[in-house]
Amino acid sequence: GTFTCVGVKAPGFGDRRKEMLQDIATLTGGVVISDEVGGDLKEATLDMLGEAESVKVTKESTTIVNGRGNSEEIKNRINQIKLQLEATTSEFDKEKLQERLAKLAGGVAVVKVGAATETELKESKLRIEDALAATKAAVEEGIVPGGGTAYVNVINEVAKLTSDIQDEQVGINIIVRSLEEPMRQIAHNAGLEGSVIIEKVKNSDAGVGFDALRGEYKDMIKAGIVDP
């Protein structure tokens, strides 16, 4: 039989190309066919092909949507890349590993920015870059409850630390106070009394914080209010 196909240039170069091809194979449930692993394209069978909901190929890029690979194998691949990230000291390698991690763990999005003036455009671009950096950090290292909640949640544990040396105790007290400041500032920006908000959060379950936009106390992660 026959089927529709398209030739696509493999991404990357050298060893990085091999790793990226293996990423694609893991994501789609396919097999990398190459001379190095003893494979021959002439001997390829249909069960070696990966699957995805859709694949869009253009002159500049290829986008794979919802690869049908084994979820456990994808998780293992992600963990493997995370270990490589921890081990490397090269900023270039870190950036490339982060790109691979993002593609495996999250997917792909294109953000188009428009504005009335060049100044507004630059401002919007900077905000998007900040958001992108935060998203990459979240994918790589995980998330915590936002709005200063994570800091307030650890105050009681930090406050338990004591020292007989006065300077050290002063330092501990400063840290305890500093942990309150992000939430205090958020409350102040919303025209509210920060100390009242902080005490309420301290006495709530871990992860419950204050949504300043709606003026409500809620589970911050469930509400989508998070920090990387």
The domain spanning residue 202 has which CATH number?
1.10.560.10
215 and 157 in a common domain: yes
| Cα separation, 118 vs 147, whole angstroms | 31
- CATH number for the domain harbouring residue 61: 3.50.7.10
Residue 188: predicted pLDDT: 95
**Do 100 and 153 fall into the same domain?**
no
Instruction: Establish if 3 belongs to a structural domain.
Output: no
For each of the chain's 228 residues, which pLDDT tens digit applies? 677 788 888 888 888 888 999 999 999 999 888 877 667 777 788 888 899 988 889 888 888 888 888 989 999 999 999 999 999 989 888 888 888 888 887 655 667 888 889 999 999 999 998 888 888 788 778 899 999 999 999 999 999 998 889 999 999 999 999 999 999 999 999 999 999 999 999 999 999 999 999 999 999 999 999 998
Q: Which of 49, 44, 40 is nearest to 68 (CA)?
A: 49
Task: Give yes or no for a contact between 161 and 174, defined as CB atoms under 8 angstroms apart.
Answer: no
**Same domain membership, residue 98 and residue 168:** no
Q: How many structural domains comprise the chain?
A: 2
- pLDDT at position 171 is 94
In a domain, 84, yes or no: yes
The answer to whether residue 130 sits within a structural domain is no
Last residue of one domain, picked from the residues 50, 78, 105? 105
Radius of gyration of the chain (CA): 24
Q: Which residues of 41-69 are buried (b: 16+ CB within 10 A; e: fewer)?
A: eeeeeeeeebebeeeeeeeeeeebeebeb
Residue 124 belongs to a domain: no
Are 27 and 101 found together in one domain?
A: yes
In this prediction, residue 175 carries a pLDDT of 95
- Report the pLDDT value the prediction gives residue 45, as an integer from 0 to 100: 81
Specify if 4 maps to a domain. no
Residue 208 belongs to what domain range?
Answer: 144-227
Burial status of residue 93 (CB atoms within 10 A of its CB: 0-12, 13-18, 19 or more): middle
Helix (H, G, I), strand (E, B) or coil at 218: strand
